[in-house]
């Protein structure tokens, strides 16, 4: 907690007042075009998070979306549904979840602290790939540095029926795998993709882990992707992430291939 508090204090001292950025609701076909791979994750009828496709069968989101917020128990991911491009009661595609892996070092805890934010990332494997010409998975990129312009596409408590785009918000600080941003997030925005937008189009550079408040000003916290994303792919490649009782997948090992051994701030998760 002290680490993140220090990062937030540094961000405010270095950058002054945080901007209040405008949200654009993507509630029409024209406005939502190009963002259809962002979707709502409905969690057993009890809540939702935001996720985004990074491959036809892989959704990137926050690890804490896989845990019950009251008991801290791991949820049955078979009760989660990904609604790609959900807008006004319809989705471009609906998919159940076959496997789900959280960062191996992620430990759910009720209070948001440095270790929770640093490792708060998960990959969900869909039961079937989404092969739709309007739903194009996003590429991922390196985490941006302080001052970089970014955008966030998310669902939230007061905008659950259509996503909203916040562009442009900025990175205020980065330390120990934690990205501090002045993007406006709310409950439901957990796992929302954070984009850098360059000449090659938008790339996901982080996912929203939590919202925070300091000196009466809202900030949001995200996690780095480079190392954590590689670990998540390795977990899936090793056959992990099945629900209890499901048959394990068979992985063929090629000859010569190695196998994997076994801030004075108030924080609220944006779930």
CA dihedral 176, 137, 260, 243 (to 10 degrees): 100
Q: What would the CATH number be for the domain defined by 2-241? A: 2.40.10.10
SS3 state at 158: coil
Distance, CA of 123 to CA of 229 (rounded, Å): 8
For range 5-11, the mean pLDDT: 47
For range 231-238, the mean pLDDT: 96
Burial of 241 from C-beta contacts in 10 A (0-12 / 13-18 / 19+): buried
pLDDT at 15: 47
Where along the chain do its domains lie? 2-241
- Cα-trace Rg, the chain: 18
pLDDT tens digits along 166-190: 888 999 988 888 899 998 787 778 9
pLDDT tens digits along 55-113: 999 999 999 999 988 888 999 999 999 999 999 999 999 999 999 999 999 988 756 66
pTM: 0.84
Percent of the chain at pLDDT > 70 equals 79
Is the sign of the CA dihedral 69, 75, 142, 3 positive or negative?
Answer: positive
Distance, CA of 209 to CA of 64 (rounded, Å): 8
Which pair of structure tokens corresponds to residue 136?
Answer: 């194009």
pLDDT at 207: 95
pLDDT tens digits along 202-232: 999 999 998 887 667 788 999 889 889 999 9
């Amino acid at each position: 907690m002290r680490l993140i508090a220090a990062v937030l204090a540094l961000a405010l001292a270095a950058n002054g007042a945080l901007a209040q950025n405008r949200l654009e609701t993507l509630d029409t076909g024209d406005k939502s075009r190009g963002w259809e791979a962002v979707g709502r994750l409905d969690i057993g009828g009890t809540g939702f998070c935001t996720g985004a496709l990074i491959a036809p069968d892989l959704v990137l989101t926050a690890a804490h979306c896989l845990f019950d917020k009251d008991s801290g128990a791991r949820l049955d991911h078979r009760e989660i549904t990904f609604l790609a491009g959900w807008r006004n009661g319809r989705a471009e595609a609906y998919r159940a979840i076959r496997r789900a892996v959280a960062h191996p070092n992620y430990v759910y805890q009720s209070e948001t602290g440095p270790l929770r934010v640093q490792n708060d990332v998960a990959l969900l494997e869909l039961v079937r790939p989404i092969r739709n010409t309007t739903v194009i998975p996003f590429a991922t990129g390196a985490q941006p540095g302080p001052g970089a312009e970014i955008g966030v596409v998310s669902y939230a408590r007061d905008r659950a029926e259509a996503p909203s785009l916040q562009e442009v918000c900025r990175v205020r600080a980065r330390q120990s795998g934690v990205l501090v941003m002045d993007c406006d997030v709310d409950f439901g925005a957990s796992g929302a993709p954070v984009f850098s937008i360059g000449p090659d189009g938008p790339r996901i550079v982080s996912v929203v882990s939590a919202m925070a408040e300091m000196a009466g000003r809202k900030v949001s916290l995200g996690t780095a992707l480079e190392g954590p994303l590689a670990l998540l792919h390795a977990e899936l490649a090793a056959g992990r992430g099945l629900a209890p009782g499901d048959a394990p997948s068979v992985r063929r090992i090629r000859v010569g291939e190695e196998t994997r051994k076994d801030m004075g701030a108030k924080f609220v998760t944006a779930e």
